[in-house]
Amino acid sequence: MKKRTNLYKKSALIIFAFSMGFFVIGNFFKSNIPVYSRSVVATTTVATTSEKVESNSTPAPYVPTHQVRPEPVKGIYISSWVAGTPSIMNKLIALVDRTEINTVVIDIKDATGEISFQVNDPELKKEGTDSKRIFDIEGLIKTLHEKGIYVIGRVSTFQDPLFTKKHPELAVIRKSDGKTWRDRKGLSWLDAGGKETWNYILSIAKESYSRGFDEINFDYIRFPTDGDMENIAYRFYDAKTLTKPAQMKLFYEYLHTQLSTLNIPHSADLFGMTTTAEDDMGIGQVFADALPYFDYISPMVYPSHYGPGINGYKKPAEHPYEMIAYAMKGALERASTTQQDIQKIRPWLQDFNLGAIYTADMVRAQIKAVNDSGLTSWLLWDAGDKYTESALQKK
């Protein structure tokens, strides 16, 4: 058991290193990429001067449409910076047009805490956490829907340096002085037990669905994993009365109750190791606990994120089929205790170079492992938004 725990700790360090790379990439885009323009991606009609003068009618209010979720889901991740950059976004849309991909996952709120588009909700607007990364979110989603693309919005939930800066009273704090605690990347976290935090996350979900997103995906629904863990404390989560998994389960239930009432599809990203771990790994995530409360569960089972020795491999990243088969076997075993549909399991797969140079055959091997496990849906992740087209089936 001690040996397995050490392996999971090594895997967590790998995830931390990977997250650092993603954070740097995000900052690069922030300084180098212009905002999205509806005139480039979406088809619009420009009125003549006379038409503008003659028309006194008030534009009809925007009414979002929603795509029916495809079965199975085959998707790619797209950062908000790329989604807001027509020259790059058009290439990814063309990739979807040519291949089996039918879904995109776009950041609504990433690790910076910024909402990627300007919000309409007056209360959210007061918070000042929105931005113009995606200049015309409705135009972008309309374009995607016209092509039959299912649009998922990703929300970085409890990792949020912006909202904690505006509301330090809701943040995870230092035991030593009560000030905001930060992880190794210098990022601060929201206290998972804070009801005001829950309401804020719910408001973002409702706002995003009202703008056309078809499904809301929650990431970072966990406790922090790295940093000075000896000096961490919580104002709202009480370890004396609740375990971390119990606290997270309350949050899952809250989201499920609120979003189901509004018929808003919702999904969750979990650590890849949740499909095989025997406990919550200290972060509060238990695979079987989450499965009943979401339409989909997406364990991040990137082979590169498993430490040496997991599944008997010195370098797990070099064995994509075997590692995904191993992870899916664990997921199915845990799902069997919940009486939930196994097709709710929709893993994130690796399409980036870490631990090995990932070829088309290696990406395809992961997809094959998912299918061989009896599952059908999957998502591909690359923080740089560059995908291996030769690994995908043509339309």
The CATH architecture that domain 2-38+67-391 belongs to is Alpha-Beta Barrel (3.20)
Q: Return the amino acid letter for 31.
A: S
Say whether pLDDT at 391 is over 70. yes
Scanning the structure block, which residue is given the tokens 């991740």?
Answer: 77
Q: Is the pLDDT of residue 24 over 90?
A: no
The answer to whether 306 and 273 have CB atoms below 8 angstroms apart is yes
Q: Rounded CA gap, 77 and 384, in Å?
A: 9
Task: Report percent pLDDT > 90 for the chain.
Answer: 84
Cis peptide before 168 (omega within 30 of 0): no
**Which among 261, 159, 151, 143 has a CA at the least distance from the CA of 216?**
151
Contact 216, 205 (CB under 8 A): yes
Q: Tell me the mean pLDDT in the region 221-246.
A: 96
* pLDDT grade for 48, boundaries at 50, 70 and 90: very low
* Cα(255)–Cα(233) distance, integer angstroms: 24
CA–CA gap between residue 347 and residue 164 (Å, rounded):
30
- Give pLDDT, residue 62: 77
Separation between Cα atoms, residue 308 and residue 317, nearest integer Å: 9
Least confident piece of the model among 5-19, 34-48, 174-188, 306-320: 34-48
Tell me: the pLDDT tens digits for 172-208?
999 999 999 999 999 999 999 999 999 999 999 999 9
Residue 270 sits at the vertex; the CA angle it makes with 310 and 280, to the nearest 5 degrees, is 65
Nearest to 364 by CA among 176, 372, 8: 372
Q: What is the pLDDT of residues 319-368, one digit of tens each?
A: 999 999 999 999 999 999 999 999 999 999 999 999 999 999 999 999 99
pLDDT tens digit sequence for 116-156 = 999 999 999 999 999 999 999 999 999 999 999 999 999 99
pLDDT at 7 over 80: no
- Token pair belonging to 179: 């000030």
**9-23, 37-51, 359-373, range with the lowest pLDDT:** 37-51
Task: Specify the amino acid at residue 217.
Answer: N
Mean pLDDT of all residues in 27-36: 38
Dist CA 207 CA 141 (whole Å): 14
Question: Mean of the per-residue pLDDT values for the chain?
Answer: 89
- In whole angstroms, what is the distance from residue 393 CA to residue 113 CA? 35
Look at residue 217 and tell me whether its pLDDT is greater than 70.
yes
Q: What is the Cα–Cα distance from 157 to 290, expressed in whole angstroms?
A: 15
* pLDDT reading at 276 higher than 50: yes
For residue 270 the two structure tokens come to 């979990």
Asked if residue 300 lies in contact with residue 18, where contact means CB atoms within 8 angstroms, the answer is no
Residue 43 pLDDT: 32
Please state the three-class secondary structure of 242-297 as a single string.
CCHHHHHHHHHHHHHHHHHHCCCCEEEEEEHHHHCCCCCCCCCCCHHHHHHHCCEE
Here the tokens at position 146 are: 């016209």
Burial 177-186 (b: 16+ CB within 10 A, else e): eeebbbbebe
- Upper half-sphere CA count for residue 143 (Cβ side, 13 Å): 25
Check whether 377 has a pLDDT greater than 80. Answer: yes
pLDDT (average), residues 281-307: 97
In the chain, where the domains are located: 2-38+67-391
Strand duo 173-174 + 232-233: pairing? antiparallel
* Distance from C-alpha of 303 to C-alpha of 358, rounded to nearest angstrom: 11
Confidence of residue 26 (pLDDT cuts 50, 70, 90): very low
Least confident of 12-16, 83-87, 275-279, 338-342: 12-16
Phi, psi for residue 164 in degrees, rounded to 5 = -70, -30
Closest CA to 268 of 246, 253, 247: 253
* pLDDT at residue 257, as a whole number: 98
β-pairing, 103-109 vs 74-78, is: parallel
- The pLDDT score that the predictor gives to residue 327 is 98
Whether pLDDT at 63 is above 90: no
Residue 1 has pLDDT above 90, yes or no: no
The pLDDT of residue 60 is: 72
Q: In this predicted model, what pLDDT tens digit does every residue of 99-116 receive, in sequence order?
A: 999 999 999 999 999 999
Q: 10 Å Cβ neighbour count for 8? A: 19
Long-range contacts of 111-116 (CB under 8 A, 24+ apart): 111/19, 111/22, 111/23, 111/26, 111/156, 111/159, 111/161, 111/187, 111/220, 112/26, 112/161, 112/162, 113/156, 113/160, 113/161, 113/162, 113/163, 113/164, 113/165, 114/162, 115/204, 116/80, 116/83, 116/84
